[in-house]
Amino acid sequence: MKSPKEDAHESPAVDNVQLDVPILQQLYHWDCGLACSRMVLQYLNLLNDDEFQKAIQDLQMTESIWTIDLAYLMRHFGVKHRFCTQTLGVDKGYKNQSFYRKHFDTEENRVNQLFAQSKACKVLVEKRTVTVRDIQDHLAQGHVAIVLVNAVLLLCDLCSNPVKYCCFLPTGQKCFCRSPDYQGHFVVLCGYSKASGSIYYNNPAYADRE
């Protein structure tokens, strides 16, 4: 995510980057994406709580938040951004996974419509994959990124091994004794170390750690 005034020249990634992105904790089990959006907006000095709540109402956001919703939210605040995805619309392959099953049928038309209207609404969506180098170059310019990850696969260099994946789940999320097939979770990327091959991120499930 970039501020509207920033059009920095592309530059090669440096060896280590740590951006001072505020850590804001989510309030519920479903609002990790909104918490990440608040972190980005505060980092860009664009966060006003009243305006943020009004934007959520104007965009008719519910407890089912998809990545395209966050792209529209950034557009609402004038943040220059790019939404990269491998699927332009709802991926039906996720329909039977437990994480999506509850809202999939009711949300499919709404989400696909947001994709269809994105160009007219000046929401930049690109069908593409993103490499680690892409991420490093982006962060090296002082920009951050909201990323949808599988919480089951998150690892932390600061925790003892082996790490229980449930430690990374949003507050109030049910913890399983065995890993579910997929557990979507939004995080904010805020740095990296080329030496260790690490990506630094803020996890909205917590308010006290990077």
Q: In this predicted model, which residue has the larger pLDDT, 159 or 52? A: 52
* 204: nearest Cα among 184, 182, 186: 186
Q: What value, to the nearest 5°, has the Cα angle with vertex 96 and ends 93 and 99? A: 100
Q: Where are the domains of the chain?
A: 16-202
Whether 205 and 26 have beta carbons less than 8 Å apart is answered as: yes
Q: Is the pTM higher than 0.75?
A: yes
What percentage of the chain reaches a pLDDT higher than 90? Answer: 59
> Which of the four pLDDT bands, split at 50, 70 and 90, describes residue 104?
confident
Whether 188 and 139 have beta carbons less than 8 Å apart is answered as: no
Q: Which one is the CATH code of 16-202: 3.30.160, 3.90.70, 2.40.30, 1.10.20?
A: 3.90.70
Digit-coded pLDDT (tens) for 61-71: 988 899 999 99
- pLDDT for res 158: 64
Residue 130: alpha-carbon gap to chain centroid: 14
> 67 Cβ partners below 8 Å, 6+ apart?
33, 83, 85, 146, 148, 186
Residue 58: both structure tokens together? 């104007």
Give the least confident one: 7-11, 124-128, 139-143, 158-162. Answer: 7-11
Whether 139 and 17 have beta carbons less than 8 Å apart is answered as: yes
Residue 25: both structure tokens together? 């904790």
- pLDDT for res 100: 64
Phi and psi angles of residue 23, each rounded to the nearest 5 degrees, phi first: -100, 115
